[in-house]
């Protein structure tokens, strides 16, 4: 019997990981990379939870993956008061527990390892430098035009990020999308060598500054801040250095500050006639909890299991029944997760609540364990 064909559009974190995961199934995959992999030279880093790291490890991406990940076992949260004093309000210590809080990895490193793996997988064909602008009907299947030829697929998975014209053309309705009117500023700091296993999050009066260790001498910075009218790179550089000096000795910025607009996106329609949305096209959340890609990994694990079961039964994997089954499994938990992150963000940045709510949480081991488990595995239903 002819193998079913899947097309994955998008060559960043979601597209690459989806291709590797689904290559374990008995099907053919075309992976369309629109230009050079996006994060090749970026200063972005990603925090991955223990359970999701186990999933990634199960995909055997590379023997050298373990050398490229940096475990963090302690989390400290701080709050700035009206007199600008910053003090610790929350402490989670997993040093003596089997599970780390999360693992850090630089985006360009994991993208390179995934690309190297994909090049060795026979069932994946890489199609480079193609920006897909439309998807066409082709009898019972769907097709994509690549260099003047139409290629037919049972299932097309769109992983083109949260600002994709392709998605806007096809999925027009039922989307909740809102700008936070904030920017995330990312950079990397080099500093004197320390035992760098504490992740810190500073709830400042004008934003949230995260210090995320990536080695004993390097820490990744994510600063989510309001769009200030007179802000410029020099001001942000000074501000970041002013705060990190309390925790890191002799810090210097070794990467340009990159800025990105922040928004929330919740979709009602996950699929349409053999086309499934995936990754940031499906849900986008505020980065302060480091969970956007973690949500995608949980979706991917569900998708892989579902498609394996259906392929083994000889069923066509692009039908509405199967895509609807995937949606029913993932949409409720993704909706609640996205709304909860948004609520937490508003609570922790609202002056009156930020330090009091964090101090209350800090006193309860039950609350800490619950938060940790949700960050690790998402909502389990
Ligand atoms: C500051 C910041 C920090 C974050 N930290 C974390 C974290 O610690 N942990 C975590 O889990 N998540 C985190 N996230 C979220 C995470 O970065 C995203 O979920 C993830 O990068 C989304 O990847 P993606 O592949 O879905 O989309 P994108 O990275 O946007 O990639 C889309 C790809 O599709 C390609 N493309 C677009 N249009 C087309 C087309 N028409 N044809 C072909 N190709 C196309 C693009 O070129 C690009 O390569 C963070 C987000 C931000 C902003």
Using 70 as the pLDDT threshold, list the residues of the chain that sit under it: 36-41, 228-230, 351-352
* Interval between CA 80 and ligand 1 midpoint (Å): 31
Instruction: Check pocket membership of 131 for ligand 1, CB cut-off 6 A.
Output: yes
Per-residue confidence (pLDDT) for residue 348, from 0 to 100: 79
Chain mean position to CA 29 = 23
Instruction: Check pocket membership of 15 for ligand 1, CB cut-off 6 A.
Output: yes
SS3 7: strand
Per-residue confidence (pLDDT) for residue 96, from 0 to 100: 86
Choose which residue among 280, 285, 300 to substitute to test ligand 1 binding: the one with the highest number of ligand atoms within 8 A of its C-beta.
280
Q: Which domain holds residue 284?
A: 4-377
What would the pLDDT profile of 6-35 be if each residue is shown by its tens digit? 999 999 999 999 999 999 999 999 999 987
3-state helix, strand, coil in the chain (%, to 5): 35, 30, 30
Choose which residue among 293, 297, 338, 374 to substitute to test ligand 1 binding: the one with the highest number of ligand atoms within 8 A of its C-beta.
293
Q: What is the CATH number of the domain that holds 147?
A: 3.50.50.60
Take atom 50 of ligand 1 and give the residue whose Cα is closest.
Answer: 287
* Interval between CA 269 and ligand 1 midpoint (Å): 20
Number of domains in the chain: 1
Per-residue confidence (pLDDT) for residue 40, from 0 to 100: 55
Give the nearest ligand 1 atom to 165 CA: 41
What would the pLDDT profile of 182-229 be if each residue is shown by its tens digit? 999 999 999 999 999 999 999 998 899 999 999 999 999 999 998 766
Instruction: Check pocket membership of 378 for ligand 1, CB cut-off 6 A.
Output: no
Q: Which of 47, 39, 38, 41 is nearest to 221 (CA)?
A: 47
Instruction: Check pocket membership of 30 for ligand 1, CB cut-off 6 A.
Output: no
DSSP for residue 84:
-
Give the nearest ligand 1 atom to 212 CA: 8
Distances (CA, A) of 306 to 255, 300, 301: 41, 10, 9
Would you tell me how many other CB atoms lie within 10 Å of the CB of residue 337? 21
Contact 11, 32 (CB under 8 A): yes
Per-residue confidence (pLDDT) for residue 41, from 0 to 100: 67
Instruction: Please say whether the dihedral angle defined by the alpha carbons of residues 279, 281, 34 and 128, taken in this order, is positive or negative.
Output: positive
């Amino acid at each position: 019997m002819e193998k079913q064909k899947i097309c994955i559009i998008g060559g960043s974190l979601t597209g690459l990981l989806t291709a590797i995961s689904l290559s374990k199934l008995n099907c053919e995959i075309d992976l369309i990379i629109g230009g050079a992999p996006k994060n090749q030279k970026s200063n972005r880093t990603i925090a991955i939870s223990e359970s999701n790291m186990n999933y990634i490890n199960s995909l055997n991406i590379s023997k050298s993956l373990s050398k490229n990940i940096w475990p963090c076992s302690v989390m400290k949260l701080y709050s700035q008061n009206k007199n600008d004093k910053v003090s610790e309000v929350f402490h989670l210590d997993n040093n003596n527990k089997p599970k780390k809080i999360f693992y850090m990895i630089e985006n360009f490193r994991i993208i390179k390892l995934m690309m190297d793996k994909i090049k060795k997988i026979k069932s994946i064909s890489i199609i480079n430098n193609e920006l897909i602008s439309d998807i066409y009907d082709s009898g019972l299947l769907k097709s994509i035009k690549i260099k003047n030829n139409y290629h037919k697929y049972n299932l097309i998975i769109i992983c083109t990020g949260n600002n994709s014209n392709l998605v806007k053309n096809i999925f027009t309705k039922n989307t909740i999308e809102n700008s936070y009117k904030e920017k995330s500023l990312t950079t990397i700091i080099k500093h004197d060598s320390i035992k760098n296993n504490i992740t810190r999050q500073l709830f400042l009066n004008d934003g949230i500054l995260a210090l995320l260790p990536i080695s004993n001498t390097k820490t990744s910075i994510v600063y989510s801040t309001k769009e200030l009218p007179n802000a410029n790179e020099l001001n942000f550089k000074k501000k970041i250095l002013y705060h990190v000096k309390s925790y890191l000795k002799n810090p210097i910025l070794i990467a340009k500050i990159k800025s990105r607009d922040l928004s929330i996106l919740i979709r009602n329609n996950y699929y349409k006639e053999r086309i499934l949305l995936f990754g940031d096209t499906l849900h986008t959340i505020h980065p302060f909890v480091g969970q956007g890609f973690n949500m995608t990994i949980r979706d991917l694990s569900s998708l892989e299991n579902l498609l394996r079961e259906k392929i083994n039964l000889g069923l066509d994997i692009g039908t509405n029944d199967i895509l609807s089954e995937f949606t029913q499994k993932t949409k409720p938990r993704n909706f609640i997760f996205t709304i909860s992150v948004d609520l937490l963000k508003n609570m922790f940045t609202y002056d009156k609540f930020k330090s009091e709510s964090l101090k209350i949480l800090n006193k309860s081991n039950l609350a800490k364990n619950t938060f940790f488990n949700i960050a690790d595995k998402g909502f389990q239903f």
